Each structure stands twice: as C-alpha cells, then as structure tokens.
Structure 1
Amino acid sequence: MDSDTPSRFARRSALRLIGAGGLALGGGMGGGLRAVLAQGQAPALVTPDKARPQMPYGVMSGDVTGNRAVVWSRADRSARMVVDLSTTQGMGDARRIIGPAALESSDFTAHLDVGDLAPGQTYFYRVQFQDLADPKIYSVPLIGRFRTPPIKARDLVFAFSGDEAGQGWGINEAWGGYRVYESMRKFNPDFFIHSGDQIYADGPLQPEVRLDDGSVWKNLVTPAKSKVAETLDEFRGNFAYNLLDENKRRFCAEVPMLVQWDDHEIRNNWFPDQQFGPQDTRYQERSASLLAARANRAMFEYNAMRPDPVDPERVYRAFRMGPLADVFMLDERSYRGPNTANRQGAGDRNADFLGPGQTRWLKQSLLASRATWKVIASDMPLSIVVRDLNADVPKGTFEAWANADDGPPSGRELEVADLLGFIKQHNINNVVWVTADVHYASATHYRPDNARFTNFKPFWEFVGGPLNAGTFGPGEIDRTFGPEVKFVGLPPGMKQNRPPSDGLQFFGIGRIDARSRSLTVSLHGGDGQTLFEVELPAMS
C-alpha cells in the first residue's frame, strides 16, 4: 500500500484505543514501564503513577504541512517533552526526538515542531514527559496521530465549526460533554478548522442553569471559569478548561487542528485600542489591546500552532493540503478599525477589517495557489448582519462586514468588494468560504446577478457552529453581494440562546473527491445527522 493511501482500518483500530487524552500504552503502569525500560531507567519500575508527571489535557497536533507538524501537550510540573514518531501503530520504527522543557513560563505547555516528514503519510506519535526534578521518572505515554498532505491527489476530508463554552453552557459531563467533537471524529477528517470563539473569556459559568422544562444543566466549573479573564493565568485557564472534556481530548489526539480567533477569546465584539466603558463592571482591566496580548499568548500556548518567525503573535496563515486544497486562515480581529456605523464611502483606517497588510497577503496567496480548491476560513460571515449592542459603543454600530443597508459597498464591505474583484480579475476559481460566529448553521450562494455589487465570480459560504454554546438566529441578511440563502438549520420561531441539550449544535464537513475534484460540503447537527449537502464541481 503506498503512503498516499494509508489503511483507514489501521488508523481507526489504533485510535479506538485512545481514551480521554491519548493511548496509555499497555494500559496504565505497564505502558509507562515499557517506555522507561527502553531508556534503561530501572528505578522507575517501582514508581507509582501518581508520582509521575501527569498529562491532564492529552495530546494534540496542528499546523500540519507536507513535511512538518506541531505536536503539543502539557505537563503538571517542570518536565521535558519526549516524542517518539512512527509510521506504524505499533511504534516499531519509532524515532525519538527530545523536545523542549515545559516550564512555569509557558504554564507547563510544550510544543515540538517535527520536521523531515514524508508527504501523504500517516504518523503516530507518542508523548512522554521526563521529570526535570527526578530525571529517572517519566510520565505514562499518550499516543496521537496525524496525516501529512500528499503530493499526489487523494480524497480529502475536513471539518469546520466554532463557538465553544459560550452563553453559560459549559462541560456538562452528565449530558455527555462536548458531544459534537465525538460526532465530528466519526467522519475521520484529515484536519479541523476551528473558526474562532474557541473560548469565552468573557463568559463565566454557573454550576447550574435551570432549563425551560424545569431540569437542570450542570456545568463543570473551574476557578478560571468563575469570572471574566483578565490575567494571563485566567486566559490560560479558559483554554485549559475546554481540554477537560474527554470528547475534545480524543478528537485532538486524532485530528490535526487549524485554529483562528474571534472576539470571545477576549471580550464580546472587542477591537484594538478599545477601552471598555464603566458600564461593564466585571472588568478592572479596561484595555482591549492588553487583554488581547494576554489571550494571544495563552492561545499559542494551548494550541498546536506554529508561530510566525517574524511576528510570533500573527494568527493569519495559509496551509497547502496537497494538490486539491489550500486553506487560508484569516484574522478579523487584530487589524480592524473600531466598530462604527460602517458606512464609510471610501476605505480608511476606520473601515479596515482585515487591514491592508493581511489583504495584500491574502491576494498574493490566492494568486500563487495552484490547488484546485481555495478554502477561506473567515471567523465572521460576509452577509449576516451582526450588530454591536454593547453599552459602551454608540447605537447603530456594526460588528461584522455587513452594514444592513443592502446598497453598494460601503464601510468594511469595501474590503470584500476589493477582494472579490481581485479574484474575478485574475480568474481565480473554486474559492469557498467557511465560518462560524453567529451560532447557527447556514449555506449561502452569492450571485452577481442578484447583487448591488456585481464584479465577482459566484461562490458559496458555509456557516458552522456552535460546538457547545447557545444557539441563536437566524440573522438579518445584507443583500449587497447577492446572497441567496439555501439553508438555515433552525426551527421557525426558535427561542434564543438554546442550550446544547436542545440538539441545535452544528458543524460542517468538506469532502474533495480525488478523481472528479468536486467538493461536497455538508452541514450536520450535533449528533452527526446530515441536514444539508451540496456538491460543487471544480472549474478548470
């Protein structure tokens, strides 16, 4: 079997054994003993598990390319990361890589950027931590896997969604926790696009929430989730909280992550240089930019992300997933102007959304792409109207691209028009957008013959989410770019902020067929049921 077509059965049979956070080899103590014996560390034979370094948040991979991948985990003390990498589930051909020390300065998280990988190959990785205070002692190892993008075209599957632990709905272990992650895992995706709101730093949790039917939703609550996040440690605690969920740990061990952020990683609808008004009494620190810097640090610490060598805080980046797809992860927070009435007649700093630098990067990256499909991962939708209703901004203020006037492009819509015109001018085909943010699923086809601005090629936008948060919507639609809404995943007259137990959690799956090069996108409910599906043929 060539490396571009690894056995799905082998992948599944190995990873079916991965429980909460990865595979503890041999089960508990035995696996740890084999790993230590391989090092010639006989004294560890009598080390009880509780004395070993612990890995409470499992293992994760991310930012995978054809020859590199980031492997992540966290220890509970100062310890050195050790990674064994193999192309077989038995780890018989493993090569050992001594990784970085997990120290207090990174909240004991550790990242290893593994290189010299073969394209189109499934890899299994085994992570251990060596106690730096007593180097004879190693943690019980955990195993994960990832697959590198191929050189030759093969079928490609990816998932997308967002919005996690919001509106008071946290980990309810009695209900099954973050069940959507388990539903997505069953599709065996090659990678997952997390479209933002990975945490709700501004959304403390209560231990119990009374539901409409009189039953009680019970949240797992930690100190970090008991108040809004302001300190670096509180932001770290928000990211760590979501990894307490068994479904998410299992998913992260099997599926490489591509992560972006939106507003709730800091505070609802924030923008750079914003000063929170006195109306929000929860905050002592009122600088959005200072909180964003702390949140950015915590996000990189708690995700398998590869920092840019020039700008280590940069969130936007691109990934080549083989000849069939390139993925462009956007950042619609860091470079935007303030939220305003969004009606500027010409582009200026106040109308920025991506900002000039990121826009140039996206245009150049799209122009250089030779992949069949160009997947733009936007953390906010294009035509769904999102108003900023915070008390410390003027009335009539908008949060997203759209400004609800249905007319020619103005405000932030000018960036959209410029980008869409560039795509048409350079005949860039097969561009599709995926997003989240609005807490319901939808599919929208944009057509120039239905638009006030017509200088663009038709395209689709798909909205996933929430993963585990309140369900809202549907939103008002701005008609500037000719949106034709094909699907909305909500019942008529739905009450707002529905709990996950109502079953209105959503994700998307994209499948690219290697032979036809067509992209099929489906939207799914929380238990995996297909709600909408469309096949998009590839244009030459």
Structure 2
Amino acid sequence: MPDGRFPLNRRTFLVTTGLAAGAATAMSPAAASAAPRREPSSDPFTLGVASGDPDHDGFVLWTRLAPQPLAEDGRGGMPSRNVPVRWELAADERFRRIVRRGVVTARPESAHSVHVELNGLEAGRDYWYRFRVERYISPVGRTRTAPHPLTYGPALAMAFVSCSQFEHGYFTAYRRLAEEHPDLILHLGDYQYEYKKNDYTIPGGNVRDHEGPETVTLAGYRQRHAQYKNDPDLQAAHAAAPWLVVWDDHELDNNWADEVHEKPEIPQPDFLKRRAAAFRAYYENMPLRRTSVPRGIDMQLYRRIRWGRLATFHMLDTRQYRDDQACGDGYRDCPAAVDPARTITGDEQEKWLLEGFRASRARWDILGQQVFFAQRDNNAGPLKVTSMDAWDGYVASRERITRGWLEAGVRNPVVLTGDVHAHWASDLKLDYDDPTSRTVGSELVATSISTGGDGADSNPADHSFLKINPHLRFYNNQRGYVLTQISKTEMKADFKVLPQVRTPGAPVHTKATFVVEDRVPGVQQTYLRPLERTMSATARAEDLGRQTVRDETVRP
C-alpha cells in the first residue's frame, strides 16, 4: 500500500470523537508522518468496520482500535496516546480504483474510535472501504450512497433488526442478513444489554456470558460494546451495508425514561452520570455523524435520512424525552395512559416530526423507532390492558402523530418497530376500538436477533392478541429479521426466521410475506409458510403462555 501521505480532498471531513472537547478535527498528512510510529503488538481491528447515515453524496465510515477488546478498563488494550489511522475508499472491491484516502487520529479519550465523514461522492452507487494502522489492515466494508434527491433510483433492499442479547443465543441472524446483500440496514434498539452474567437468563440456561459487571461506568459500557462488536456475525452485518441506528432502553438501563431509571423507588444517585457514560460509549461504537456527538447527558439521535424521492426515514428517539411510564412498566389498565399531556417523543421531537411530514415529497415516509405503535390490548373483557412502556402508554402522543401524517397528506406512512422479540404486522388506525374504522397506516415489527433464546414456531391464528385486536394481522415467535423491497408501487416485507439460535449456523427461511401497496394503507399477506412441525393444542397453549409472560416482563 502507499505510504499514507494521501492528499485530503477539501470536501472530505475527517471526524474524531474527541468528546471531551466536543470538536471534530482532521489530521494532516504532515502531522501523521510526525506522529510516533510504535505499532500495536497485535491486530487492532478486532471490532471490524462499519458505515452509516448515508445521503446522496456521502456517509460515515467507522472503526475502533482494540487489540484486547475485553480489557476491563474499556480501552481495548490500546496505549494512552494518539494513533494515526489511514483509510481508503474505492469504487471496486479489489481497491484498484481508489476515489478517496486520508489519515485520521484515533484518540484515547474516544476509546480510539474514528468517524470519517465523507461527502462529494457519486449518488446511488456502491463503495468499499478499509483502514490501516502500520502493518495491520482492517476487513473490507461495503457501503452505498443514496440516490440523488430528484430521482427515485432502483428498488431499495432495506432490512431492519433489533434486540441482540449476547447471552441468549448466537448472532446467526446477523450473518444471514449479511448474506442477503441489502442496500441499507436499520437497527431499532437493544443493540447490547447492560446485565451482568446470569442476571437475565432463559429456560435451559444462557449459551454464553457477558464479561464484567452490569454496565454503569464508561469503562463498562466500552467493554460491553467491544464484546458485542467482537462477534464475527455482527461484524459481517456491519460490513455488508450502511446502517441507521437508534437506541432503545438496554443501551443504558432497562425501561429508562428521560432522567428516570428502571426502579425509581431504589435510589440511583449517579444515574445521570451513568446516562452520560452510556451515550458517550454508544457514539464511540456507532457509525454516526458529528451531529450526534453527545454533550453530557444529551445526545441528538432523532434525524431524517432521505433515499432520493423514494423514501424518507424519520429515525425517532422514544427514550430520551418521554414522560415516565404511567402505572408502572408492565401491562396495566391505566387511566393516565390517555392523559393528553403525556408524551413519548417530547414536544420538540414531535414538532420536528410533524414538520417533516408536511415537508415530505417522498413516496414512502418510514418511521424507524423502538416500541409497539399499534394498540395491543391483552384483555378480551371490557378493561383495556396494554403496555405502559409502548405507545399504548402515551395514547394522545400516538394520536397526534397519526393525525399529523393524515393532515399532511403523507402518501404512504409505515412504522418500523423492534423491542418485543416477535414478528408482527398490523394495520394502523385512529380508533382502534372500532374494528370498522378506516386504516390509516401500516406497522411492521421485527423479532429479536437472539433475545429470548430460540423461541418457537407458532400458528398466528391461535394467538390471543390477534383474536382480541383484529388490526393485528400477523405474529411469529422465532428469531430473525425483516427484509423489505421498496419500490414506487409497493413495499414488500419478508419475515425471516431461524429455527434456533442456541447453536451457531442455523439456516434462515421466509415465514411470511406482507405487502403495503402504494396509496393503500394497511398490510396485505401474500405468503405464509406452514408450521415447521405439527404443534399439539397443549404445546400451542404453552407457547402462548410463554409469550404472555414475555410481553408482560419489564425486560423486552
């Protein structure tokens, strides 16, 4: 390879995560050549590479140096000094046509992570990238720019995922997703979990263990992110396509809400310090733009990404600004859930979203967010028993958002969701209590990558939630992801499932396919694969019982 003295294009921004100063800086070739040249004693690229937040002329490239990724101090085995990192961007996988190259500084105060923010690239095409520190070369990642803002571009292959609990199973679903070669991947939260070993177990026992105590310090969060990033299946998914990421609760603390931790009845005086540490480690380990650099306990994570004229992705943050859950975190009949003053988004984010609806000219407006949006009543009787952690706990907030896209004339509103460890598809309504009321949108929910263990194949027709809530159209309790194909005429969603995650290498298949047609709100099923095995009535009842417990738990 060349000696690293690459010219820096003035339209290329090199971002280092110097969070203490909150500044983005670039390292010049002269400074790089003057820097100490003591190379790491082993491969520093154990955490792989990633890209994210694409637009029509650029994206973010990411890596973090960690020759000893599980080091207890969270530093990944790196020395307390700056390290120059070379990067290259190519128009071909073999790097015969280099289009950009440069040097960026990995700093100890940012856990030796780097964010290279590029622009001025060609719209709607693939690129490949890699990093180098002395003689060590990183794996190669593939990324992509969005189509030009005035064009639709080809159909978009977009996948979305959530909930990857390292202890509960292998990340085979990430590997199978990488093999699909999507154009874009959305991660909708619970990328990592905060628990110490044996705090969150599944029947039959966990298949592997977390390192370190429960994550409450910066060192702990850095170590936990490194343990997850060290997984080869997760690395494959990051290297396959650009990602759009948002958090849910476990990136910090189960069911946290703004400045309130999981169990407010138990004092946690350092919770805000913990929140700042979690936010900082999250940024250090994700391919995010400089606009998301955290400032103490605050981090700008909601943002808008346009995929040409085809789709606008409104990425939401339903944790940082929400009111605390009413009546506790679980399923409740709770009058406070309909209080018009309660919000899950906060006033500023809600205003931003409604303005985005009014300004949008996209064929598809897609909300990438965390918790169940449609009503999900758990009681067949007169009481309404719903999850206080989901949008059901913030009914007025949900109604304002839904009315907002109707009043703005949004052509095709689609909500994408994670959190609940099962596949779902549903029609969205303004009045869920009237089954005959018109459908005004669609929701697609991805199951977990591994959280909850294997799960079980299930007959959607037998599920109690679907019987009580006719707008809920599909349910499956296996692990996997959702792969969509978005064109001008339809959004097709394949619900991908794996038979098990307790051992690595499971195959994947499509359990069901739903389509949302242009200007036809609601989901239409086009394919349902029969049960892999015949389930007795007793087995089905046991499976439904397990799901009821899972839905009521405070840990999903």
Instruction: Give the alignment's TM-score, normalised by structure 2.
Output: 0.72
Are residues 1:292 and 2:291 paired?
no
Tell me how many residue pairs correspond in the alignment.
Answer: 445
The change in CA–CA distance for 1:221 and 1:400 in structure 2 (over 3 A counts) is closer
Counterparts of 2:92 and 2:510 in 1: how far apart (Å)? 33
Are residues 1:532 and 2:512 paired?
yes
The match for 1:375 is 366
Q: Which runs of 5+ in 2 are unaligned?
A: 7-36, 67-77, 328-333, 379-384, 499-506, 521-556
**What is the CA distance between 1:346 and its match in structure 2?**
4.3
Alignment map for 1:209-248 (pairs within 5 Å)? 212=204, 218-223=207-212, 227-248=213-234
The change in CA–CA distance for 1:447 and 1:206 in structure 2 (over 3 A counts) is closer
SS state at 1:64 partner: strand
Output one character per residue of 1:323-346: Cα deviation in whole Å (capped at 9) or x when no partner. 211111110000001111353454
Output one character per residue of 1:300-343: Cα deviation in whole Å (capped at 9) or x when no partner. 10000113279761111111112211111110000001111353
Are residues 1:69 and 2:59 paired?
yes
Counterparts of 1:396 and 1:368 in 2: how far apart (Å)? 33
Match of 2:479 among 505, 508, 514: 505
| Contact 1:335–1:354 (Cα < 8 Å) also in 2 | yes
The change in CA–CA distance for 1:199 and 1:279 in structure 2 (over 3 A counts) is same
Counterparts of 2:391 and 2:293 in 1: how far apart (Å)? 29
**What is the CA distance between 1:458 and its match in structure 2?**
2.1
Match of 1:204 among 196, 199, 213: 196
Counterparts of 2:187 and 2:271 in 1: how far apart (Å)? 22
Match of 2:335 among 312, 323, 343: 343
**What is the CA distance between 1:437 and its match in structure 2?**
0.5
Of 291-300 and 203-212, the range deviating more from structure 2: 203-212
Q: Which runs of 5+ in 1 are unaligned?
A: 1-33, 40-46, 130-136, 171-176, 388-394, 404-411, 491-503
SS state at 1:233 partner: helix
Instruction: Give the alignment's TM-score, normalised by structure 1.
Output: 0.74
Counterparts of 1:303 and 1:229 in 2: how far apart (Å)? 17
| Contact 1:336–1:355 (Cα < 8 Å) also in 2 | yes
**What is the CA distance between 1:222 and its match in structure 2?**
2.5
The change in CA–CA distance for 1:80 and 1:63 in structure 2 (over 3 A counts) is same
Alignment map for 1:87-486 (pairs within 5 Å)? 87-129=91-133, 137-151=134-148, 152=151, 153-165=153-165, 168-169=167-168, 177-201=170-194, 203-206=195-198, 212=204, 218-223=207-212, 227-274=213-260, 277=263, 285-308=268-291, 313-341=299-327, 343-344=335-336, 346-348=339-341, 351-383=342-374, 398-403=388-393, 412-447=394-429, 451-452=433-434, 458-470=440-452, 484-486=471-473
The change in CA–CA distance for 1:385 and 1:396 in structure 2 (over 3 A counts) is closer
Are residues 1:60 and 2:53 paired?
no
The change in CA–CA distance for 1:240 and 1:334 in structure 2 (over 3 A counts) is same
SS state at 1:445 partner: strand
Counterparts of 2:174 and 2:108 in 1: how far apart (Å)? 30
**What is the CA distance between 1:123 and its match in structure 2?**
0.7
The change in CA–CA distance for 1:447 and 1:332 in structure 2 (over 3 A counts) is closer
The match for 2:544 is none
Counterparts of 1:453 and 1:366 in 2: how far apart (Å)? 26
The change in CA–CA distance for 1:279 and 1:340 in structure 2 (over 3 A counts) is closer
SS state at 1:120 partner: coil
Output one character per residue of 1:467-505: Cα deviation in whole Å (capped at 9) or x when no partner. 12115799985999x761211103xxxxxxxxxxxxx21
| Contact 1:35–1:141 (Cα < 8 Å) also in 2 | no
| Contact 1:65–1:149 (Cα < 8 Å) also in 2 | yes
Instruction: Give the letter aligned to residue 196 of structure 1.
Output: G
* Structure with the larger strand share: 2
Counterparts of 1:450 and 1:278 in 2: how far apart (Å)? 32
SS state at 2:136 partner: coil
- Sequence identity of aligned pairs in percent? 22
The change in CA–CA distance for 1:311 and 1:231 in structure 2 (over 3 A counts) is closer
SS state at 1:524 partner: strand
Counterparts of 2:244 and 2:91 in 1: how far apart (Å)? 22
Instruction: Give the letter aligned to residue 90 of structure 1.
Output: R
Counterparts of 2:160 and 2:235 in 1: how far apart (Å)? 17
Counterparts of 1:363 and 1:182 in 2: how far apart (Å)? 36
**What is the CA distance between 1:537 and its match in structure 2?**
1.5
Aligned-residue RMSD, C-alpha:
3.5
Counterparts of 1:278 and 1:451 in 2: how far apart (Å)? 33
Match of 1:521 among 490, 493, 496: 493
The change in CA–CA distance for 1:235 and 1:422 in structure 2 (over 3 A counts) is same
The match for 1:6 is none
**What is the CA distance between 1:442 and its match in structure 2?**
0.9
| Contact 2:373–2:415 (Cα < 8 Å) also in 1 | no
Are residues 1:81 and 2:81 paired?
no
Output one character per residue of 1:160-183: Cα deviation in whole Å (capped at 9) or x when no partner. 1100116x425xxxxxx3100111
